[in-house]
Amino acid sequence: MPKKISDLAVARVPALADCISLFQSKLAIAHYAQGSITDYCHALYKAVVHIGKLPEEFTQEDVDGYFLSMLSRKPVPAEAQFKHFVYGLKCYLRSMDYPDLAGLALPKIRREKKLPRILSVEQVKLLLRTCELYSKALFSIIYDCGLRSFEVCNIKWNDISFDRCQVHIKKGKGGKDRIVPISPKTLKVLAAYRKENPSTSLVFKAFGANKGIDNSFIRKRLRRALDMAGLDTSLTVHSLRHSYATHLLESGEDIQTVQQRLGHKSVSTTMIYLHLAKVEKHQCVYLIESIFS
């Protein structure tokens, strides 16, 4: 079985184990989101495997060489991987009281700007009809509430108001809370799911364990469900969120409301879905008609 990247990094630089443990503790005390802690540490592990030094020993030459190795890969890694490394290293140096690297910045990555891939309403319907109850409940709430993977992993039963048809998303991206509506039909699915999977804490737990699910669990389950439904198995969990936003706009929801539901900081981020949504254009409006009437 292949070793995890953390094992490889510690095997190459044994002192890293204690350093990362202390770093994780400092971030937890500072109330960083668990997703950010995981992403930062994972990025540092990969860099240590390549460079062969502790993060505080990285030089500008080391960092530049690491960036070049990433940029030379085909395909070039996602921009998020560069961000996790840069922000993670900066956070590490700052948290551990080491001087920052003056030239540490994101490299310019030239890549085509592609629109998100989405499912049609009929494809979402087919997917949910094919699923057994556990997956149906999981994917229904992701799509119906436009959730990110880590957000659904953290949902507890007391975050869901069955009376008010709302879900309280706690510590979403950027550590922000938001309230999103949830359909009565999704609530019925969740109620049936809860009878088979009784719990007073987390809504979704890993099978045979008293702990929550993770992103990997959701990805594998979605791939299996897509395959059973005869749909494209390369679609991702985030495709459900993209589909939700697009379908809202196609149903007449305004862009600001979609922004709030998604938890986007800026409406410009939400604007991308206007390129995907098939929205009927109104007939030409003649404002002066009302003046002369």
Q: Has residue 103 been placed in a domain?
A: no
- Same-domain status, 68 and 134: no
**Is pLDDT above 70 for 243?**
yes
- Same-domain status, 129 and 35: no
pLDDT of residue 161: 95
pLDDT of residue 269: 84
The residue-averaged pLDDT of 237-257 equals 91
- Same-domain status, 194 and 68: no
The residue-averaged pLDDT of 181-187 equals 95
Alpha-carbon span 172 to 199, nearest angstrom: 22
The mean predicted confidence, pLDDT, of the chain is 89
- Same-domain status, 253 and 152: yes
pLDDT of residue 172: 82
Alpha-carbon span 74 to 53, nearest angstrom: 26
**Is pLDDT above 90 for 156?**
yes
Q: Has residue 107 been placed in a domain?
A: no
- Same-domain status, 88 and 214: no
pLDDT of residue 287: 67
Q: Has residue 88 been placed in a domain?
A: yes
- Same-domain status, 59 and 192: no
CB 142 within 8 A of CB 136: no
Q: Has residue 154 been placed in a domain?
A: yes
pLDDT of residue 112: 58
Residue 197: give its domain's CATH number. 1.10.443.10
pLDDT of residue 244: 93
Q: Has residue 83 been placed in a domain?
A: yes
Active site residues: 148, 173, 238, 241, 264, 273
- Same-domain status, 85 and 216: no
* Residue 167, domain extent: 121-275
Q: Has residue 280 been placed in a domain?
A: no
Per residue in 210-225, pLDDT (tens digit) is 788 988 899 999 999 9
Residue where the block lists tokens 């505080």: 56
pLDDT of residue 173: 80
CB 34 within 8 A of CB 42: no
CB 220 within 8 A of CB 174: no
The residue-averaged pLDDT of 59-69 equals 91
- Same-domain status, 63 and 171: no
Dihedral, 46, 148, 92, 67 alpha carbons, nearest 10:
40
Per residue in 66-111, pLDDT (tens digit) is 999 988 888 878 778 889 999 999 999 999 999 888 777 767 666 5
pLDDT of residue 284: 63
- Same-domain status, 162 and 52: no
Question: How many domains, the chain?
Answer: 2
Q: Has residue 281 been placed in a domain?
A: no
